[in-house]
Structure 1
Amino acid sequence: MQAVILAAGEGSRLRPLTRSKPKAMLPVANRPIIEYVINALLENGIRDIIVVVGYRKEDVIRHLNRLDAPVQVVVQERQLGTADALLAAESEITEDFLLLPGDNYINAESIARIKKEKNAMLVAEHPNPSNFGVVVIRNGFVREIIEKPEEAPTFTVATGIYSFTPDVFSYIQTNEIPDALAAMIESGRRIRAIPADDWQDAVYPWDLLKLNSRMLRGISPEIGGTVDASVTRRGAVRIGSGTTIGPNTVIYGPVTIGSNCNIGPNCVIMPDTSIGDRVVLEPFTYVADSLIMNDTTIDSHSRIVSAVFGQGCILADHTTTYPSESFIEVGDRIQKEKFGAVLGDGVRAAPFTTFKNCIVGNGVRIERGKTVIGVIEDCTRVM
């Protein structure tokens, strides 16, 4: 059996984090999301894998080349939609195949449930169905797919994972897969609905925190760096090579820390935290339930909770993220969400800055310690 992974899109609702990398390459528990998809396929013995790339394709190709996996790459020249991306791979498809998004987590058991079905889709229950294609099911078969309705008739959503026979291409007349499914159903073809065992998507940047927490549950303890004898570790803690953990630091897993980091002394790292490569945490810094990407520095006496930080942020001493619940505008939607902060790449903040339930764009400069709320656009100077 073949598999086609769609990794050509940007993930615009995840901005500012996807300005510098496609959604499929966002790190969760220090691994790009697409790796979890590939591994689920390999665990099911599926080794004929085609990845469709497009937006920032060089980043995806470079990473795929480092993997010990048999992956073939095709390019979607313009990101017109999911069906258009599948058409880019048509010439390489010779048998029944699975179609999967490269930017959602899926486990091997879910793949096992659908791989033997012909013309099926994987579905899941979701508390916010209006962010997805909502699926109406009758007698185990898909009756209708309603794309992102304001009022959803059910909590069952499409995961974007399908099992198809090659004749699906004869039903593609627009740029989107749901339209091809609608044409199949209208013609009398039956699409079986298969419940997923475990599937998660990150629609908005703060959703990465839940996905990160889920992925960290699967890590195994590993110490590859230098850990002072006075460090306290509890639970599953993974520490990369070249990383130094200073005296009296406390780490409660699940936590993963990348390579060549400098942590502490006297830091506290609490569960559900991922720290990328070459990250610096200065003394007396507290981090919990957060995802910190590569090359970020957080100075002393800071408190980081429920935060997602992009690459290369430099945050001065006494930086605080303050989780609170409020309405926040993202695109054409207003969401009520509770989280601390989402920072894009290269954010710089002065001492005593507090980020409160905010999204801060790439390259923002906060030049005087203050409380930052709401949405701050890319390259803004906050005086």
Structure 2
Amino acid sequence: MRAVILAAGEGSRFRRTVGFGPKPLYPLYGVTLLERAVRCARQAGCDEVVVVLGAEGEVIRRRLLSRLQSPEAGAAPGPGVRWVEAAQWRRGNGASLLAARPLLGDEPFLLMMADHVMDPGLCRRAAEAARDPRRAALLSGGGALLLVDPRLDQVHDLDEATRVRHQDGRVIAIGKGLEPYTGVDTGVFVGSPGLLDALEEVRDRAGDDGPVTLTEGAALLAAAGRLGAVPVDQGWWLDVDDADDLPAARQRLLASACASGGDGSVARHLNRPVSRRLTALLASTPATPDMITWAAALLAAAGAACFALGLPAAGGILAQLASIVDGS
């Protein structure tokens, strides 16, 4: 399966509130938003990633290429990345997706947004759903799938979310301000030629320069009973729109990276809180995992030396520090 990542928008609200652009290159703990999306696609088993560019496209392309070709980035080796320039990106994300149509063929594809950060398990969930016989039949019949989050109490900014009403595995309606609604759009789709056809219909209706959005295309499929709902019952995601979203994005990324179900009492109440703060500090520095491993080993060796010299208090402190650093 291919993945398509939309990275064509201007991100004007993000630039205005954060003072940074282009948005897909914003680093969260040393890894850009776009690079995180590429990693998610790879972890879902996608054999090719198509990145759709628009605003400041060449800047984004050069930066991502340099990152993906660096072994320290943790993203290579993996499936290749192809680039598409969306000439009509100003018309909306639907028009940007249509620019990738010549590369997509007749097979389903994973569709993601560059400015969404998420648990990689969500992308795997979408890819697995596409292999379900009933949903595969929907895709081959000109439909699409949308990951829908019904956990409304866990949505970071519910007022900004695109709302969904779904029932019996199908999306009935989708749109901003929809009432009543049963979930929200996570920004993760499994697309098909049918979704692209719907977007072309939206473009034809919009005229020469009217807006063409994914939500409009999805609404056409929903009205025809051809938009499947894939409910999300675990994992997390977050749409990074502006400065207010960044603290929550950092918190969720850090909690996810440091999660461990096997922590004992000391690790849970002492090691983990300290190592999380240390991880947050180190992630945005040039320090590599190998450097951290060596630091932990040296601390452990120093602790052992203290024990051998009859300095148990110093040895215990150094051993505890080694454990904390090793968990960072």
TM-score, normalising length: structure 1: 0.56
Identical-pair percentage: 25
Please tell me whether residue 82 in structure 1 is matched to residue 93 in structure 2: yes
Matches within 5 A, 1:172-321: 172=199, 173-174=202-203, 175-195=212-232, 197-218=235-256, 235-236=274-275, 252-256=278-282, 258-259=284-285
Q: What per-residue deviation string (whole Å, max 9, x for no partner) do you get for residues 176-217 of structure 1?
A: 111111212223324223316221122221210110122233
2:193 to 166, 177, 188: 166
TM-score by length of 2: 0.64
Counterpart residue number, 2:145:
120
Which residue number corresponds to residue 110 of structure 1? Answer: 122
Tell me, yes or no, if the aligned pair for 1:106 and 1:200 is still in contact at 8 Å: yes
Change (3 A) 1:184 1:258: closer
Partner of 1:157: 184
Q: 1:186 to 1:200 in 2, by over 3 A?
A: same
1:71 aligns with 2:81: yes
1:100 aligned to which of 112, 115, 130: 112
Residue 184 of structure 1 contacts residue 190 of structure 1 at CA under 8 Å; is this kept in 2?
Answer: yes
Q: Report the Cα distance in structure 1 between the residues aligned to 2:44 and 2:236, rounded to whole angstroms.
A: 15
Within 1, Cα distance between the matches of 2:17 and 2:55? 14
Partners of 1:215 and 1:127 lie apart in 2 by 14
3-state DSSP of counterpart to 1:197: coil
Higher normalized contact order (CA 8 Å, seq sep 6+, divided by chain length): 2
What's 1:15 paired with?
A: 15
SS of the residue 2:39 aligns to: helix
How many residue pairs end up in the alignment? 235
Shift of residue 7, structure 1, vs aligned partner = 0.3
Distance in 2 separating the partners of 1:234 and 1:131: 32
Distance in 2 (CA, whole Å) between partners of 1:252 and 1:168 is: 45
Distance 1:47 1:123, change over 3 A: same
Secondary structure class of the residue paired with 2:95: helix
Whole-angstrom distance in 2 between the partners of 1:145 and 1:134: 6
Partner SS, residue 137 of structure 1: strand
Bigger share in strand? 1
